[in-house]
Amino acid sequence: MTTLRVVVDQMAAPVPGGIGRYTEELTQALIAAAPANCAVEGIVSSSSEADYASIEERLPGLASLYKTTLARRELSAAWQLGLSTSPGPGMIHAPGLLAPLRRHDRVNSGTQVAVTVHDTLVWSHPEAFTATTVAWTKGMIRRAKKHADAIVVPSHAVAAQLSEIVDLGDRVRVIGPALSRTFQLPGAGLAGEFAAQLIDERLGALNLPSEYILTAGTLEPRKGVAAVIAALGEPGAPDLPLVVLGPDSWGELNLATVADEAGLKPGRVQAFPTLSNEDLALVMSRASAFVYPSLDEGFGLPMIQAFQMGTPVIHSDAPALVETSGDAGFVVERNDADGYPRRLAAALTTVLGDRELADRLRVYGSDRSRAFSWRDSAERVWQLHADL
């Protein structure tokens, strides 16, 4: 029996975040796509029995769960120094940089370690992270350069950016993520009338405007949400409310203040800090347009969500977003910060004012969303380890 051990520790983190969701989805797919006579095991830091039970419940089919003797913080520090032991020889896949990276003999012992780098933001935008996170990430990249057998990245854009930071040779593999299996409209699978009733109930609970522009992110400058708000204050910009998928504040900034400075009426900007996947799909599906203005990303997952829901997408020309879109979105140049809101406003006016263009973007986006699946990602991970 061949075993692939996946570091699932982020699933038990206090705030799992994007890597936690990625870990869960990928591991589920790896279990489902496991070749004959192959199994998937998990590796987790010393945690509570409730955390262990939660991981095993969310990963049905997991062969076993290896529990290290170190808690998460200590394990992270130990692996950064190459001090901690792992379950033994064999294949290890890390959905992040947290991995037992140390000297090993891949040929004779069969041990191999693959890690994942989701973006290069600690280099391009270190101000968005704590000093501890920046130092730990850079330290783990140095260990990956020495000891990782493969480095998975979500896009060719990240591969190119990473190559300018560290020489990893031919070990980098591009394997993109996909949408959650639970990202679907409320009542999916129910009879039409029951699904419609459930959707109406959720719409009432969410209190959405009848028409609105949708964006995602925080007021962190890199995310570009403030530029979208400023765009709606431009002369001739569409007179629609803005719904933000994200918190209503970042540091000392808040959406209401930024909207007021842009000349928008009170209440025109509404935030949804957290939504279930069903509610998120519903909010995506009802938007007149989805704007993803981020200046730098490793992948554009929210764009894929909008594509699947048939919503026209407007996005920046950040390399990873252009790659994710594959010509299915309306691209806006992000350089020249002062002119960015004006260009976003022009893009919104163009897309919302041209029904034929909007319909074409919906069709292109729907087609593009089919290019991403967890099954495909999992099969490529299995193939990667087989190649190693």
User: Would you say the CATH fold of 192-369 matches that of 2-178+373-387?
Assistant: yes
Residue 380 has φ and ψ, to the nearest 5°, of: -70, -30
- Judged against a pLDDT cut of 80, whether residue 324 lies above it is answered with yes
- 16-56 pLDDT tens trace: 999 999 999 999 999 999 999 999 999 999 999 999 999 99
Taking residues 51-67, what's their average pLDDT?
Answer: 96
In total, the chain counts a number of residues equal to 388
CATH code assigned to 2-178+373-387: 3.40.50.2000
* Average pLDDT rounded to a whole number, residues 72-101: 89
Q: What is the pLDDT of residue 103?
A: 85
pLDDT in tens, 198-230: 888 898 899 999 999 999 999 999 999 999 999
How high is the pLDDT of residue 46? 94
Say how far apart CA 8 and CA 94 lie, in whole Å: 8
Alpha helix positions (H), the chain: 17-32, 49-58, 72-81, 106-109, 121-124, 131-147, 156-163, 192-206, 225-232, 255-261, 277-286, 301-308, 319-325, 340-353, 355-369, 374-387
CB 38 within 8 A of CB 4: yes
**How far is it, in rounded angstroms, from Cα 362 to Cα 354?**
12
Going 260 to 265 to 267 to 270, the CA torsion angle's sign is negative
Higher-pLDDT residue of 335, 230: 230
pLDDT at 212: 98
Name residue 64's amino acid.
Answer: S
For residue 375 the two structure tokens come to 């099954």
The 10s digit of each residue's pLDDT in 169-199 is 999 999 999 999 999 999 777 767 777 888 8
Q: What is the mean pLDDT of the chain?
A: 94
Q: pLDDT class for 338, splitting at 50, 70, 90?
A: confident
pLDDT of residue 336: 84
pLDDT of residue 85: 66
Domain residues of the chain, as ranges? 2-178+373-387, 192-369
Q: Span 192-369: which CATH code?
A: 3.40.50.2000
Phi then psi for 209, rounded to 5 degrees? Answer: -65, 160
- What are the residues whose beta carbons fall under 8 Å from the beta carbon of 85, sequence distance 6 or more? 100
d(CA 182, CA 187): 11
